[in-house]
Chain A
């Protein structure tokens, strides 16, 4: 965090007459508490924590990528515990049916009525493990739920309990027996978060913590303290949506996405939804930093996780060993910052 990104309380010392009624400072403090709690059980991955939290505040969904054993489930469970939310998990398999995800009605012989059995999507945080293992219609059922935030079972629409966020993982190793998500479906995810191996120090800390307790349960995500209620998260989401983004900043977001479409070596660039997502995540970053306005730096920080799954490299660039993250970073650096 730069000097000028100090929390709002400090900013108010030099800037009189606040023009808004949001409690951005309180929301920022709440985010810091959540990050602090997650940091107790999820070491050396601060950027992952802030990205996932930004997605939660923006009301978006996350595509998680990382090698097995890096704590993806652990992170989602711990995050749910920080606001007392429910956690659900679906292991996607080739024989998984849409009704296994959303739910179904069952005729109860005893009461001679149809009983509704709600699927695992009726939760606050849903971990969809290896989403590309399920066939397209099952994937579509989940993606529809993510988009609409409601489930339709036998013609009856049921609203999901908020906050609702899906964190989906993909099997990055095997190709056979998988159904890769089409680009249009990938676009529905707000951001793609990459979990890499932690550094030496953090890894040593993880091993030490886990093995310090019997049965190697030293890092129990359920041990995370609850810092707020579900309602607080919903309010924070509403506050996040009201964060101000001046037209120049919005233009900057659009310019970045347009640049990905016009850049050489890119076969598929980010669409309008990419620019929308950039602003949404930029707002979340602003809220997390205690500000009530978005700066170009917020967008620049959000660019790589928001755009990396929306951009596809041309084969010649991919063969040369260029990575999507590097390409996006260079495109963003080449885009002129906002004109004020």
Chain B
């Protein structure tokens, strides 16, 4: 007797390298992890030979779209799973495939039922358990569904938990690697990186992020997938083996095989052979009248079948089913009363299913909303040069610096105010105009709490700015007027108006 495992071909159960016995799901997962550890060298070699080139190819194709690269490499995980599955499934039955075998199987691995694996099977929570059904048994359609349903009865929940735990561990491994790197680099560099990570979670600043950040995330993701995926696949494969052991009695089959092998050894010894012959003779004598009466071997077999059928038809072999209601003492009497006229368990099951689907729908809607809200990240390869709707400071030092609050022609308005003798209004217009222009045109990050000195320092920090000298002079005169209550002379005002280096704000205002 043999079992059908890989590619629909028969494998010898007696060659299995692990103890085949019924296990609880967590024991099976443990066995899977042990298998992965034992054959990690082969798995990693095969991984490097097949998956790394695929990633390199993807990276070249999507070199300007790091976010899409991250999404694609995540989406293709079922394809990667086939590589460790090939190694582990064969290794369990004593045949570790060589790299030549892996390369030989590569076209099939990368192409077989790709649509199904990446679309229908991608979101199955028990993906690791159903993977061997499609990959090793080669079942499709209704037969696949029935087979998966059958196997999931003994390990489906274990496979789902393995998926969840695997997901968490993958994230943990990723974060651990990042923290390790953070600990290794100098604090000033890690500080800048940390700021980048913080900005990623702040929508308003995501535009500042470099594509390098996304590539770094991609590398961490790929490393964590490389470390965790072999264990996940092996755990699912072990659950699959366990489910088949429970369903098909592989352990009993193996026990019989071993018993048969032992008896085979006994038969080969001469003394025991004689004993066997006596036993057989007795058997022949007992069955001879019937056999001979039937007149042939075929008739004897038919007779045995008939006898078996008769025995099985007896009342003792009939399977009876009886449903018994077991009364359960509960403090929730009111709840029971409430549902007394209905099938409570069925009702609660429906409620549970409803809650599950509501939570699932909310999760999907939330995901879609997040993607929609951050769609700019996907449209420009993770780098946003400017955010048109980003709110900008509208007030600095109590001065309204929004373009709407200022006249079209700031310089003319300032001159008019100067002629009217209002020096503070004149300087205020020029200063507000300059600040508004720096904020809205040059994207200078001026905060509400910034003083004149802070604004000047920020302008000084701007590279290749032609405004520094002018703004410095304007700030000096403005401070004299605002805080010193001193009157500037006409020449100074004329000079400030004539040398005004900023564009008119009317365009900005109409755009904004």
Give the interface of A toward B (CB within 8 A): 2-6, 11, 14-19, 244, 246, 248-249, 291-297, 300, 332-340
Shortest C-beta distance, B452 to chain A (Å), equals: 6
Rounded to whole angstroms, the CA-CA distance of A18 and B488 in the bound complex is 10
For residue B349, CB closer than 8 A to chain A, the reply is no
**Are B484 and A335 in contact, with the CB atoms below 8 A?**
no
| Chain B residues with CB below 8 A from A5, complex form | 453
Given contacts A11-B476, A338-B398, contact A297 B486 (CB under 8 A): no
Shortest C-beta distance, B164 to chain A (Å), equals: 33
| Chain A residues with CB below 8 A from B477, complex form | 4, 14-15
| Chain A residue at minimal CB-CB distance from B451 | A296
Give the interface of B toward A (CB within 8 A): 395-399, 424, 428, 447-454, 456-457, 472-473, 475-480, 482-489, 491-492
Shortest C-beta distance, B74 to chain A (Å), equals: 36
**Are B452 and A297 in contact, with the CB atoms below 8 A?**
yes
**Are B449 and A339 in contact, with the CB atoms below 8 A?**
no
| Chain B residues with CB below 8 A from A249, complex form | 483
Given contacts A296-B397, A338-B397, contact A4 B487 (CB under 8 A): no
**Are A3 and B483 in contact, with the CB atoms below 8 A?**
no
Q: Given contacts A2-B453, A11-B476, A335-B449, could you give 16 more A-B pairs where the C-beta distance is less than 8 Å?
A: A2-B456, A2-B472, A3-B476, A6-B476, A14-B476, A14-B489, A15-B487, A18-B486, A291-B484, A295-B453, A295-B483, A300-B453, A333-B447, A337-B397, A339-B398, A340-B482
| Chain B residues with CB below 8 A from A333, complex form | 447, 449
Rounded to whole angstroms, the CA-CA distance of A18 and B477 in the bound complex is 14
Shortest C-beta distance, B321 to chain A (Å), equals: 64
Residue pairs across A and B with CB atoms within 8 Å: the count is 108
**Are A16 and B487 in contact, with the CB atoms below 8 A?**
yes
Rounded to whole angstroms, the CA-CA distance of A294 and B484 in the bound complex is 8
**Are A337 and B485 in contact, with the CB atoms below 8 A?**
no
List the 10 closest pairs (A to B, CB-CB), nearest first.
Answer: A339-B398, A4-B476, A297-B453, A3-B472, A337-B397, A293-B484, A296-B451, A15-B486, A14-B492, A337-B451
Shortest C-beta distance, B44 to chain A (Å), equals: 42
**Are A300 and B484 in contact, with the CB atoms below 8 A?**
no
| Chain A residues with CB below 8 A from B396, complex form | 337
**Are A337 and B473 in contact, with the CB atoms below 8 A?**
no
| Chain A residue at minimal CB-CB distance from B399 | A340
Sample 21 A-B pairs with CB under 8 A, ordered by A number.
A3-B456, A3-B475, A4-B476, A4-B479, A11-B480, A14-B489, A15-B484, A16-B487, A246-B482, A246-B485, A249-B483, A295-B483, A296-B451, A335-B449, A336-B398, A336-B449, A337-B398, A337-B448, A337-B449, A337-B450, A337-B451
Rounded to whole angstroms, the CA-CA distance of A335 and B447 in the bound complex is 10
Shortest C-beta distance, B114 to chain A (Å), equals: 52
| Chain B residues with CB below 8 A from A296, complex form | 397, 451-453, 483
| Chain B residue at minimal CB-CB distance from A340 | B482
| Chain B residue at minimal CB-CB distance from A337 | B397
| Chain B residues with CB below 8 A from A4, complex form | 452-453, 456, 472, 475-480
Contact for A19 among B395, B397, B486, CB less than 8 A: B486
Shortest C-beta distance, B177 to chain A (Å), equals: 25
Rounded to whole angstroms, the CA-CA distance of A11 and B492 in the bound complex is 11
Rounded to whole angstroms, the CA-CA distance of A297 and B395 in the bound complex is 18
**Are A339 and B397 in contact, with the CB atoms below 8 A?**
yes
Rounded to whole angstroms, the CA-CA distance of A68 and B374 in the bound complex is 55
| Chain A residues with CB below 8 A from B448, complex form | 336-337
**Are A15 and B488 in contact, with the CB atoms below 8 A?**
yes
Rounded to whole angstroms, the CA-CA distance of A97 and B472 in the bound complex is 56
Shortest C-beta distance, A311 to chain B (Å), equals: 18
| Chain A residues with CB below 8 A from B424, complex form | 340
Rounded to whole angstroms, the CA-CA distance of A297 and B483 in the bound complex is 11
Rounded to whole angstroms, the CA-CA distance of A293 and B475 in the bound complex is 15
Rounded to whole angstroms, the CA-CA distance of A338 and B399 in the bound complex is 9
Contact for A15 among B452, B472, B480, B483, CB less than 8 A: B480
| Chain B residues with CB below 8 A from A18, complex form | 486
**Are B485 and A293 in contact, with the CB atoms below 8 A?**
yes
Contact for A246 among B483, B489, B492, CB less than 8 A: B483
Rounded to whole angstroms, the CA-CA distance of A291 and B500 in the bound complex is 26
Shortest C-beta distance, A222 to chain B (Å), equals: 37
Shortest C-beta distance, A50 to chain B (Å), equals: 15
Rounded to whole angstroms, the CA-CA distance of A151 and B381 in the bound complex is 75
Given contacts A2-B456, A296-B397, contact A14 B488 (CB under 8 A): yes
**Are B449 and A16 in contact, with the CB atoms below 8 A?**
no
Rounded to whole angstroms, the CA-CA distance of A244 and B397 in the bound complex is 19
| Chain B residues with CB below 8 A from A3, complex form | 456, 472-473, 475-476
Rounded to whole angstroms, the CA-CA distance of A17 and B486 in the bound complex is 8
Rounded to whole angstroms, the CA-CA distance of A244 and B485 in the bound complex is 10
Shortest C-beta distance, A262 to chain B (Å), equals: 15
Shortest C-beta distance, A8 to chain B (Å), equals: 10
Shortest C-beta distance, B301 to chain A (Å), equals: 85
Rounded to whole angstroms, the CA-CA distance of A335 and B483 in the bound complex is 18
